[in-house]
Amino acid sequence: MMRISISGRLTLMFALLMIGTVATFALFLRSSLLSSLEGMMHNELVIRNSLMAPYIEYQGSVENWSHVEQKLATLSSNERDKVSYLILSKDQQYRVGSLPVAALNYDQLPEGFSTIPNVDDPCPLYMLVQTLKPLGDRPEVKFIVALNSRPYYSTLAEFTSSLIFSSVAGLSFVILLSYFISRYGLRPARHLSEQAHGLAPGEPSQRLETNTLPSELYSLAVAFNGALERQEIAWKQLESFNADVAHELRTPLTNLIGQTQLALSRQRIAPELEELLESNLEELERMTSIVNDMLFLSHAMAGQSATELSEVSLREEALKTYDYIEPSLLDKSLSLDIVGDVRARVDKRLFHRALANLLENGARYAPTGSAVRVTLSHNGYLTQIAVSNVGDAIEERHLERLFERFYRVDAARNGSHMHHGLGLAIVNAVALMHGGKAFARSEAGINTFGFTLRIAPAGHESQQAEALADGSQLAQSVSGQGIA
Ligand SMILES: Nc1ncnc2c1ncn2[C@@H]1O[C@H](COP(=O)(O)OP(=O)(O)OP(=O)(O)O)[C@@H](O)[C@H]1O
Ligand SMILES: [Mg+2]
């Protein structure tokens, strides 16, 4: 597809505007010159008419008429082709002179100024016709002064051609100039695109230089830089994520290798080998669970949404999750209470997984003998599931990042070998798969973690499906953190 450059467009628009303006102006000039030339011709006719008409008017006989003829012949020869005099009458004796025009009809000849075409000249004749009343023997006659417009028309033609020449020359110059000016004016845009072309892959910290840009391009460049910045963050997350995955898998692999090498260092009896295999199996299971979690998260990242939705009482589902998590709670003599109930369409399997992660965390971080509370509530189309427990305040900088994969407040503490920091990332993914998001609060000694689900009111299930199908929102929020 052919692309027209902005300078090209601007020049074209300028050119059309200029041509329009100059043409209008030139036409106006030409017509005002023509009307002033016509004024001059009329003046000339009036002067000549006023010199002769009174004289002719007082000639009332055929005898005197020869004087008239003579006078007019002299005048005509003095003015050569410029002015012609003519007297028309119904009586042949009173006719004087002739004109280089087709026959003039006495009766239809208009009084005053008129223009008639010349026979062998494109320039017309300008005439002033005056009817002179009968006197004595003389009948009524029409006295005509005719002016050849050729000299005036050639002035007009000369003026027109010099006007056309100067307009074309001026226009070409201005159009050329406007092309260069627009090119000059668009230099920052070219500079910007050169900069963008120059952005090298693998250097995510590069930005476009915005200081020297004009305001129109400034906001574009700032937006572009914003996109680059988000790319950089995503790139860094990806990089650290790779490092995290490698790191998390290295420990169980090292354990496996170490134990196996130790076992092989001498001969082992069957029970010893059995114990080794059991321990190895445990490590392998842990690795499988990390890999499964990673796979689950990557599906959520790719915009997958919950599909197996069914309407359930969240309280009943929470009780089922409790059954599963009960041993961890009992270990620390923790009590669980569930406040409220909401009926919502959820993927039960995903809901259990998210809630179990939250309850496991609660059980791990709540002080022995305290209570873990699940609060179920809804607000408009949003259902909220919150799990709170007593605990040390969590700093804001951590709260913002806890939903990132592998992020832990203190990775060295709390059995990091067993816990990889994927639980809350999964909660966030489940929330996103239901069109909601995860949140974390730490207030007045209570830490609350939870997530929201978007539910459609009864009969509007398709809306929920639409909300869930919005993969862009999903992918966007997984990389961020959902803090309500
Ligand atoms: N209820 C809570 N009280 C205090 N801190 C919490 C709580 N829940 C989570 N955290 C903090 O958030 C971090 C991330 O939690 P997350 O569930 O993602 O990972 P994890 O529990 O460490 O590991 P995993 O869930 O993969 O076994 C935890 O390491 C902990 O520092
Ligand atoms: Mg956890």
Among 249, 408, 418, say which to mutate for ligand 1: greatest number of ligand atoms within 8 Å of CB: 408
Amino acid at 303: G
Phi-psi region of 54 (alpha: psi -120 to 50; beta: other; left: phi over 0): alpha
Closest CA to 55 of 135, 125, 148: 135
Domain spans of the chain, in order of start: 6-156, 215-299, 306-479
pLDDT, tens digit, 9 for 90 and up, residues 315-325: 999 999 999 99
The reply to whether 306-479 shares the fold of 215-299 is no
Residue owning the nearest CA to atom 20 of ligand 1: 421
pLDDT(471) > 70 = no
The third-level CATH classification (topology) of the domain covering 306-479 is Heat Shock Protein 90 (3.30.565)
pLDDT(113) > 70 = yes
pLDDT, tens digit, 9 for 90 and up, residues 357-393: 999 999 999 999 999 999 999 988 899 999 999 999 9
pLDDT, tens digit, 9 for 90 and up, residues 30-45: 999 999 999 999 999 9
DSSP state of 106: T
Q: CB-based contacts of 155: which residues, under 8 Å, 6+ apart?
A: 37
C-alpha 358 – ligand 2 centre gap (Å): 7
Among 364, 401, 422, 424, say which to mutate for ligand 1: greatest number of ligand atoms within 8 Å of CB: 424
pLDDT at 140: 93
In CATH, the architecture of 215-299 is: Orthogonal Bundle (1.10)
Report CA Rg, the chain: 51
Q: How far apart are CA 446 and CA 451, in angstroms?
A: 16
Amino acid at 300: A
Return phi, psi of residue 344, to 5°: -150, 155
Q: How far apart are CA 246 and CA 232, in angstroms?
A: 21
Q: How far apart are CA 373 and CA 355, in angstroms?
A: 12
pLDDT at 109: 83
For ligand 1, which residues put their CB under 6 angstroms from it? 357, 361-362, 365, 389, 391, 394, 402, 408-409, 419-425, 447, 449
Residue owning the nearest CA to atom 22 of ligand 1: 421
The verdict on domain 6-156 having CATH code 3.30.450 is yes
Ligand minimally distant from the alpha carbon of residue 363: 1
Amino acid at 140: E
pLDDT at 465: 46
C-alpha 307 – ligand 1 centre gap (Å): 27
Ligand minimally distant from the alpha carbon of residue 387: 1
